[in-house]
Amino acid sequence: MPLPGTPFDPLGEDHLREECGVFGVIGVADAASFVALGLHALQHRGQEAGGIVTYEPDGGFHQARRMGYVRDSFTSREVMETLPGSLGIGHVRYSTSGDKGPAVIRNVQPFFGEFALGGAAIAHNGNLTNAESLRRELIERGAIFQSSSDTEVIIHLMARSMGRSLVDRMEDALRRVEGAFSVVAMTRTKLVGCRDPLGIRPLVLGRLGQGWVLASETCALDIVGAEFLREVEPGEMVVITAEAGPQGHFPFRPQKPRFCIFEHVYFSRPDSLIGGRSVYETREAIGRELAREAPVEADLVCPVPDSGTPAAIGYAAQSGIPFGLGIVRNQYVGRTFIEPTEQIRNMGVRLKLNVNRALVRGRRVVLVDDSVVRGTTSRKIKDMILDAGAAEVHFRIASPPTAWPCFYGVDTPSRDKLLAASMTEEEMRAHLGVDSLRFISLDGLYRAVGEAQGRDPDNPRYCDACFSGDYPIAPSDRIAKTLKASQAAE
């Protein structure tokens, strides 16, 4: 049962959850309102909870953390008046680490700490692969943790650093962590953004009048009217003051970037830009490539809304098969059914998706979706299409088979729950009960995102571990657990 105030998502059991979203602003009046708008634009990246921290000289730091959607938590005058100041950061989350049940308020970011040099707050998108070992070390040295989030590890590492400034201490802390991180942080006078050396998670810089903005995606700049300047580079730390503006430097050993390729497929909003290219256009190109690789005789190309829509448009354009909205999404199910009864829960995907019967009846339908994880939702959608009178159902998937879990900030099921980890493509087709099933190849996905020669196995440009099992950063905690279990068994 979802926590009161959080949405019930009937598709949640069979979709990858989108890490988290971060936003920060400096040099504008009423910063909290801009942060709330930015978080609203990033709501797709995390829908369990959100938080905002601001600073103003007379009253110091102010913070508010709430469960549920931004629109329900940070739109009332009563809440926003408690967050004065011209400097603020915010965060929306899924529980990719720490608590694995419904989010609890103690794990909601940004996290705030008072240090000898003053206060600082930090919000983090990603996942630290050595957080558990660092946590044990810190607890043995006397640290007391208030949450189960890996982000709090960074706060404790900062507290033990001997750096001369809070920014220096943050650098020291981030040099000790492993994994994926895009961090937005603030002191009394500075807004700080930093990406891990591989740049796995996104972070962008924008200009808002006389102020400055950091955000997970460019769509969050658009909603506040900020000008997109550039992406924060992999391994770069940008320190911004209202007077001097952004100053960037590179505190980590240089490495070849490995940006998460699934940002192109699903996580980022289609109206965002990645690498100077429209996410929408990339997804349409994925659909075109998929049509070239996996043609089929059919009467209708239909997206599984909403994430499959651009790829379906591309598939239809390349194949010449008409495009149609054979499935309609109910945009309001999250608000309507806050605490669903068991009877409502058993309705499953019908709460959120409904078949356009007049369009699909008697037709051979190509369903285009972004991914297949466990396969449970795909089977339900297939049944709905057939119940509406479709003659055939063909699945086309705009990503390669998801066969490996992500350790870098995506809430992926364990490998034994991933359909592609134990089945071939033909076995998955039989399991789903569809007439045909095809995934885009990994080389095809690389071509669609701009790598004309496909994936270079010796030097891949992206992190594609969920498809290939090629992890660019060793999952230290997971390896240690496996080793410990093996030793215990012996």
Name the amino acid, one letter, at 70: V
Helix (H, G, I), strand (E, B) or coil at 117: coil
Q: How many CB atoms lie within 10 A of CB 448?
A: 24
* CA gap 248, 193 in Å, rounded: 9
With tokens 């507290």, the residue in question is 159
Q: How far is CA 21 from CA 222, 230, 362, 425, 449, in A?
A: 15, 18, 43, 33, 23
| Exposure of 275 in the CB half-sphere (CA atoms within 13 A) | 20
450 Ramachandran zone, left/alpha/beta (phi>0; psi -120 to 50): left
CA–CA separation, 292 vs 438, rounded Å? 12
Local structure of residue 472 (DSSP, 8 states) = S
Rounded CA gap, 109 and 87, in Å?
16
Report how far apart, in Å, the C-alpha atoms of 399 and of each of 315, 429, 438, 464 are. 13, 16, 10, 10
Whole-angstrom Cα distance, residue 311 to residue 368? 7
Q: What is the DSSP-derived secondary structure letter of residue 231?
A: E
**Dist. CA 315–CA 295, nearest whole Å:** 9
Provide Rg for the chain, Cα atoms. Answer: 23
Phi then psi for 96, rounded to 5 degrees? -80, -20
**Which entry of 20, 219, 406, 466 is annotated as an active-site residue?**
20
CA distance 284 to 264: 11
């059919």: which residue's tokens? 298
User: Is residue 20 flagged as an active site residue?
Assistant: yes
Spatial separation of the C-alpha atoms in residues 478 and 133, rounded to whole Å: 10
For residues 456 and 450, the answer to whether their CB atoms sit within 8 Å is: no
Do 23 and 226 form a contact (C-beta atoms < 8 A)?
A: no
Cite the active site residues: 20
